[in-house]
Structures are given as structure tokens and as C-alpha cells.
Amino acid sequence: MPKSTKPAIEPRMLNLKQAAAYLGATVWFVRTLIWNRRIPFVKFGNKLLLDKKDLDAFVDAQKVAARA
């Protein structure tokens, strides 16, 4: 009998470790961004969660234009 092939749901919100992996950075770098209020976050109890869209926006804002 074939197994169900339901598509995996990809989370929109990431914890610190996942966000660090997503950015290719360390957890401490992500914590520093949060402490300095450079990226928005959501606090659920003692958990800090970051939206992928906000991480993408942060990366886009850090880009430096190439010279022609």
C-alpha cells in the first residue's frame, strides 16, 4: 500500500537556530540583530520567532549595488 504523499508544510516562522541557518549566520548574530531591533520578531512566552519575509527584507536592505 503506497504511503500518503502529502506535501510538507514549510514553516513561515523560524526559531533562532533555524533563522541563523537560513541566513548562514550564527545564533549570536541573530540575537544581536534582535537586541538592536534591526529585525522584527515575535515573542511567544520565552520563545523568539522570526518571519522568513522579515529575514528576506533584512538581507535585501543590506545589499550593496554592484559597480558597472
Q: What is the pLDDT of residue 10?
A: 87
- Tens of pLDDT, residues 33-45: 999 999 999 999 9
Residue 16: CB atoms within 10 Å: 19
**Confidence band, pLDDT 50/70/90 cuts, at residue 5:** confident
Q: Domain limits of the chain?
A: 13-62
Residue 35 β-bridge partners:
none
Cα–Cα dist 40/30, whole Å: 11
